[in-house]
Structure 1
């Protein structure tokens, strides 16, 4: 069954109208489409990239305004969990007039593509970027097989 293009246009026009009305109701939050980007990042967790370098995995995690004392990293086998929180930086005794950088917490877990040697994992946090170097366990490392 074919739908007329005018029916589809009418449906999208109605959706746009609803979106515009919602945006007017929630102007302080950038419209109804979403809250500030920092809020979104902590709702879903920080952005990550995972790379395979042959003998180890490397993960980069964006963690702006997070200190190493506010992070918790756990690795077991091929399971990785990163959690943390951002504390309030409001000076003591002050009352806030506007708070956009409030407290937040997150937790992300990953099933890694191979087992990791947990004793050799290295974590570095610099300029809001966490870099995890995750050496593969001996059983998970690729081996060159000689041909006889």
Structure 2
């Protein structure tokens, strides 16, 4: 049964004026405060074993995620006709600001969110020296 409402929603969702978002890319938030930058990457169902986080030779933060669902079908009376979320693979490179202490970067996974803390350096303000004019 087709209703006018179904057709309107189909038209709205299948238009070229609205760009399609890459469904496999997790959402990323980046926060800043006086002490650190915090990167949050949403990846529900993942564990710390699914992530590799490092800084490359060019000073970029590299986040790699690979997640595989290895669950066996326990109920033999049903099976998948279509299955799209059994494997996820993602890689992102973020340019790090100059004031990040690269050797103190920390990462953890909590409630399906990867948190990467990028501590900022606290360079002492350069002291000014008063010079007497002779």
TM-score by length of 2: 0.64
The structural deviation recorded for 1:98 is 3.3
| Higher relative contact order, chain-length normalized (CA < 8 Å, sep 6+) | 2
Aligned to 1:46: 26
State yes or no: 1:120 paired with 2:101: no
Distance 1:126 1:56 in 2: 19
Unaligned 5+ segments in structure 1 are 1-19, 25-29
Unaligned 5+ segments in structure 2 are 1-6
The structural deviation recorded for 1:52 is 2.2
Q: What do residues 59-92 of structure 1 show as CA deviations (whole Å, max 9, x unaligned)? A: 1111112211111101247410101112024306
Q: Which has the higher helix share?
A: 1
CA gap 1:109/1:75 in 2 versus in 1, 3 angstroms: same
Aligned to 2:4: none
The structural deviation recorded for 1:32 is 7.6
Aligned to 2:92: 108
Paired residue total: 114
**Matched position secondary structure for 1:108:** strand
**Backbone CA RMSD of aligned residues:** 3.2
TM-score by length of 1: 0.59
Q: Is the 8 A contact 1:78 1:114 kept in 2?
A: no
Q: How do 1:1-148 residues align onto structure 2 when only pairs under 5 Å count? A: 40-42=22-24, 45-76=25-56, 78-91=59-72, 96-136=80-120, 138=121, 141=122, 143-145=124-126
